[in-house]
Structure formats: C-alpha cells, structure tokens
Amino acid sequence: MSRTSSKAVPAEASGVPVQPEIRSLSGTGSLSIAGVAEQAGVSVATVSRVLNGHENVRPATRDKVLAAVDASGYRVNELARNLRTAESRLLLTMVPDVGNPFYAEIVRGIDSVARQHGYFMLLCDTGADPGRERSYFDLLRRRRADGAICLDPATIQQALGEASHALPWVACCEFDPSVRVPYVGIDNYRAAGDAVRHLLARGHRRVGLINSDVDYLYARQRQQGYLDALTDAGIAPDPAWRMNLNSLDYEAGASAAVTLTQQTHAPSAIFAVSDTLAIGVIHGLRSVGKRVPDDVAVVGFDDISLAAQIDPPLTTIAQPMRELGETAARLLLQRLANPLANVPGVLLPHRLVIRGSA
C-alpha cells in the first residue's frame, strides 16, 4: 500500500477491518444505500423511502438521512433500481437521418416531453436500413428501453409490426394503417394537393414532382395528392414530370432538378416533397441558368427554419414538427401507463406558407 502519506485512515493502517471505509469503497468506488443507512443510523428501507419521497417518514429521520446523503455525496445506482422496478426509463427514438433538420426538430419535441416525464431518450439513426432498424428494435425485448418511437418507412414498420405488435411502440409521421399501432402524422394527401393547387392557381399547367422513395408512406400519399389535384384541374399528369429519389440530400434535389428541366416540355413548376430537396432544386436550377420563380416555380415541404433564409425564400407546406414529436412521445407514455387501452391515431394540421419561390 502506498497510501502511507494519508493521515485520515489510522484504523485501516493498523490492520483493523473497518466497515464504513470498506463499504464506501465497494463496487466501483461509490457508496451504496447500505452505507448511507449506516451513516444515518437507520435501515436501508428508510433511506429508500426518503430517496423516493414516500410519506411515512418522520421529519427528523428524513433530515438525518438527507444529511448522510449530503455528507457522503451518495447517488442512487439506477442500474439496481431499474432491475428492481423492471423499467429502464429510456425511450428509444428511431430516425432515418438525424442530420435532416426536419427530423431534428421532431426529436426535440420527443425529448422535451420525455424529460418532462422522467424519461431519457435513446436516439438511433437507422439510415432507413431495415437491418439496423430491427436490431435497435430488439432493445425493447432486452429491456434496455421501455418503449419506442419509430419515424422510419412504413415498409419497415410492417416488418416490425408482424414480429412485435405486442411491444410498446408508436409511429410518427410514417405509419402503416394495416399495422395496428398508435400513430401521429399529417394528412399528406391533402397537403400535397394544397401545394399543387397553389401552383395551379399561379397559372402553372406542367407541374413536376420530386419525390422520395415510395417505401415511404408519405411519398405514396403525396404522389396521389399530386396526381389527383392535377387530374381534378383537367390536366393529364405526364409520368416524365415525376422522379423518385432515394435520398433527401441537397445534392439529390439539385441533380434531379437538372434532369427534370432538361427535357422538352419541361415542367414550369416543381413540387419537392422535402425542403432539403427543394433547396437543392433551387441550387440545381440556378446552376443551369434558370431563375426561380420566373423560369421555374418551386414549392417544398416541411418548413424547416432554413426555408425562410434562402434566396428566394421557399414557399412550402409547414408541418408542426415540434408537436409531431411531442404528440408521439405522449402517445407512447400513454401506452406505457396503460398497455391495454387502445390509443388512437392522430392527424395534425398542416399549412401552406407562401414565400418567394412560388
């Protein structure tokens, strides 16, 4: 022992085994509830009661315990508590891409209500990869998380649903009606229609659609909304006006825009299903010398904070991102509190925000 210079451990130095010292060094160096109980001269049950704010504790006793906790700097070992109470107090959130500002804002909404209810959020970026998704989902079975919020494509949810409709999870933004699971989202069909009708009202007849992968329910719904809005206006949608991308990155939107406008009878307006895509579209258009909105009008989707900052400011469909996240978290918490009650699906309102791009 090299601790001979220490002057506060005479008993230890003399070879006598001393309970308190030993106890306080147990495990990984931190004190356990038993140590606090000892220091306070009470039982572990009483310490536990004080720690958990139970009623049946005399004020004097409570003070003794609190003093001991304070003096020792004790912190409850939540690993033990979690095992005992059989809950991890963690909420799993699965996102296709944390880097997308749209998802980032939803995640914040989730996080804020989770924390408000004593839960922490385990954030997992799935990259929309079914394999990764599935392995994350397994965290529920392994009890590492109490529940999950899934923002991934409906196709994936379907697979999850089969395997585990019994597990506590809810769908956010994406949801497959055939999977019986609580969800929150918006009316993508109507929203897309609103976007297209705005373009129509501006006099456009050839309206392009830059869509994401049809794995996403929203992609299918928005496409249908786009198609029907056009048809309703007496326009026969040309398949050449449509593109499906497997990315929402700026670059993807940029090159799609170039392709789309390079053809004869090219669209005079483009509806992109994401603001990030739309921003890329504007960039791509500019790179081939087209002016927005004069040569080509552009409308996006989401209304991320960036939308108002670019040139020209983006006309877009606003989604209540924060509320989407908050609602998802609340639905999940509700499900956790009462596993039997069947939680309803909820649709939040969207809004057309008209700026300079269309």
Task: Catalog residues that contact DNA under the rule CB under 7 A.
Answer: 26-28, 32-34, 41-46, 48-49, 51-52, 55-58, 60-62, 76-77, 79-81, 83-86
> Which single residue is written with the structure tokens 């209540």?
320
Task: Assess 125 for contact with its own copies (CB under 8 A).
Answer: yes
Nearest CA-CA partner of 299 in 215, 200, 230: 200
67 binds, among DNA, its own copies, none (CB under 5 to 8 A by kind): none
Q: Which residues pair with 185 in a beta bridge?
A: 347
122 binds, among its own copies, DNA, none (CB under 5 to 8 A by kind): its own copies
Tell me the site size for its own copies, rule CB under 8 A: 49
- Three-state DSSP state, 207: strand
Only one of the segments 184-192, 212-220, 222-230, 308-316 lies at the binding site for its own copies (rule: CB under 8 A); that segment is: 308-316
**In the window 11-50, what residues touch its own copies (CB under 8 A)?**
27-28, 30
108's torsion region: left (phi>0), alpha (psi -120 to 50) or beta? alpha
Task: Assess 76 for contact with its own copies (CB under 8 A).
Answer: yes
Q: Where are the alpha helices (DSSP H) in 73-129?
A: 78-85, 101-116
For residues 40 and 140, which CB has a smaller minimum distance to its own copies in the complex?
140
Task: Assess 8 for contact with its own copies (CB under 8 A).
Answer: no
Smallest gap from residue 87 Cβ to its own copies (A): 8
Give the C-alpha separation, 254 to 75, whole Å. Answer: 53
Give the C-alpha separation, 201 to 185, whole Å. Answer: 27
User: Could you tell me the sign of the dihedral formed by the alpha carbons of 272, 273, 278, 281, in that order?
Assistant: negative
For residues 41 and 127, which CB has a smaller minimum distance to DNA in the complex?
41
For residues 225 and 284, which CB has a smaller minimum distance to its own copies in the complex?
284
Smallest gap from residue 338 Cβ to DNA (A): 18
Amino acid at 33: I
101 binds, among DNA, its own copies, none (CB under 5 to 8 A by kind): its own copies
Per-residue string for binding with its own copies, 255-284, x by CB under 8 A?
A: ------------------------xx-xx-
Here the tokens at position 96 are: 């296709």
227's torsion region: left (phi>0), alpha (psi -120 to 50) or beta? alpha
Residue 36 CA: distances (Å) to CA of 23, 47, 80, 127, 234? 10, 7, 16, 46, 78
> Cis before residue 344, ω within 30 degrees of 0?
no
**In the window 132-191, what residues touch its own copies (CB under 8 A)?**
138-139, 141-144
Element (H, E) at 243: strand 242-244
What residues make contact with its own copies under the rule CB under 8 A?
A: 27-28, 30, 75-80, 82-83, 86, 88, 90, 98-99, 101, 104-105, 107-108, 111, 120-125, 138-139, 141-144, 249-251, 254, 279-280, 282-283, 286, 305-306, 308-311
